[in-house]
Structure formats: structure tokens, C-alpha cells
Amino acid sequence: MPQTVVITGASAGIGRAAARAFAARGANVALLARGRAGLEAAAREVEAAGGRALPIPTDVADPAQVEAAAEAAEAEFGRLDVWVNTAFSSVFARFTDITPAEYVRTTEVTYLGFVNGTRAALSRMLPQDHGVIVQVGSALGDRSIPLQSAYCGAKHAINGFTSSVRTELMHEGSEVQLTVVQMPAVNTPQFSWVLSRLPRKPQPVAPIYQPEVAARAVVRAADHPRRKQYYVGASTAVTVLADKIAPGLLDRYLARTGFRSQQTDEPDSPDRPHNLWQPLDDTDGHDHGAHGSFDDRSHRHAPELVLSFHPRWTAAVGSAALAGAAALLTRRRRARR
């Protein structure tokens, strides 16, 4: 019997790539996102890959819309096996340059969208004592960086929320599984459609991976969900570990490098369209696809893909990373003298 998967944020980026990956296994895939052009294109890709698609225009910040989408998916395909929360929004700016309304909107989509999706999934999975919920997290949910306070705050909240719900499920002896996949920088369209108040165009911080790498991790986590969280990319695991060992060192490093590393050399326009309040693929009918504009700098494979890393290996690499960061800071201090 085909697996039934619901994916939020399915019109682009990781969600779009994950939809194709599940479809290649013959899954039924319910696609949730706001933009109709992206949803329709994603549905065509799912069908072409061998799955069945159900595109459902949905704003995950609205719990009623998420509940209606879950009901439609269940009516079309039957029992829900996997729910993947991916949808998010963001603002690239200093905290003091983000309005209260923009902060609320980012939090409603990026954090409460996961809460709404988890609630809709559990209301169907718990009575059947079956199902997996995969939260697509981020290394920034453990280690915050400058210029992304709204996004980092939401991703931290997802970790706390998920851990709490997981322990409740364990207390109840439920067979429903809940796991988080912590992602590195991924080449998605977000950098071309995010609301930004930076002087230059935003960019991901290397190393950058293609969405297909992230999608393979999501599928693998759905197949093996009993581990509470997985890390994609050695840099993600090392960053998290290094922050736990020496948070002050990373704070100083990011204060020096975090502004420049998140911007290209190309000036950005303050009037550039963004998708915080409405999807760009609704206003112009253009499908933005899974990939962003950094194909030439993104890894298509991840030999160091870390989904179940060994603690000793991580500690060794983390120590090396800390030593390297300390040496870099020392050289910069000497250069300024």
C-alpha cells in the first residue's frame, strides 16, 4: 500500500525536493504551500516521479487552513503515514530594523506553522497509534547568528516544542514518532524572495548543499524516526558541539564575520519583492522551483552527511574546529595591531 505523506512548504526548496524524493518511492504526497504556481509545478513533478499528488493552497500560520488541508489529504489518500513540516518565512535585518508585525508574521509561519502542522498530524495519528512527524530544523536552532533573529528564535522554539511533545508521547507509550532534522545552509529560493534590509543581496554561509541532499535526509529520518534528532553535514554537527563547548568564542567570531558572510558583493534593492505577506509565485505566476541561485557553489552530495554521528568523531572534529577558530581570531587580532 503506498505511503501517504503531507509536506508543508512543498512549493520550493527542501519541501519541493522532499516531495520528489517520496514520490520516487511511489508515495501519495499532499503538497501544502501558499503559491499556486509552485504547487502546480510540484504536483507535476510528483506525478512524473511515480507518486500521486494533491496540491492544497495553505497558509500554515492559519490553524484552520492546516486542519482543512489535513482533512482533504486524509479524504483523498486515507491514513496519514508521514507529516513533514518545512514551511518558513524570514527577515534578513538587524533586530532593531524589524517591525513588530514582521516579527509576528515570521514567528507565526516558521514556529506556529510547525505547531499547527504537528497538531493536525497528531489528531489523526494518535487514534491509529501510527505515524511519523519530521520537523525540518536548522543548525541556527542551536547556534544563532546575526541578522536572522526572527528565524533563529523560531527555530529554537521548534526544538523546545518538539522535545516537550516527544516526552508526552513517550509517557503515553505512543508509537507515533517525532524527530527533527537539523539542516545546514541549503541552496533554496529563499535568498531571492526573503524580506531583506541588508545593503547587499543575502546569501547562505558555506558550505552550501543542494535541496536534494536535505531531501534524502528527510526521507531517511522518516524511515528511522526513533532518534530524536539528526544533523545534516559535518559543519552542522560541529557548530552545535562547538557552541556548547565555547559559546563565547563563537559569539566573538560571528560578531566579526556574520554580517559580511551573509551578503554577496552585489547591491540589493530595498524595493525588491518579497514573500513575507504573500507568495511571489501567486503574484507573477512564476514557479521558483527547488533551487536557489547558488548552484555553482552548492554540493550535490554529502560524503560527510551526518545523520547518526559517533560522539567521539564529533568531539574530535569539534575540537579541531574550535582550535581553528581560535587561531583565526588570534591572527586577526595581531593583524589589527
| CATH (domain of 36) | 3.40.50.720
The pLDDT of residue 306: 57
- When the pLDDT of each residue in the chain is averaged and rounded to a whole number, the result is 90
Tell me which of 111, 151, 209, 230 is the catalytic residue. 151
Round to whole Å and give the CA distance between 218 and 183: 10
**Count of all residues that appear for the chain in the document:** 337
Q: What is the total count of domains within the chain?
A: 1
The burial class, CB within 10 Å (0-12 / 13-18 / 19+), for 158 is: buried
Residue 151 annotated to the active site: yes
Q: What strand order describes the sheet that includes 298-299?
A: 185-186, 208-209, 298-299
Q: What is the pLDDT of residue 281?
A: 83
Q: What is the residue range of 47's domain?
A: 4-336
Instruction: Specify the higher pLDDT residue, 320 or 277.
Output: 277
> Which neighbouring-strand residues pair with 335?
none
| Predicted local distance difference test score (pLDDT) of residue 250 | 87
Between CA 133 and CA 285 the distance in angstroms is 31
pLDDT tens digits along 232-261: 887 777 777 777 777 788 899 999 999 999
Q: Which residue has the higher pLDDT, 261 or 329?
A: 261
- Statement: the pTM of the whole predicted model exceeds 0.85: yes
**Residue 197 has what pLDDT?**
96
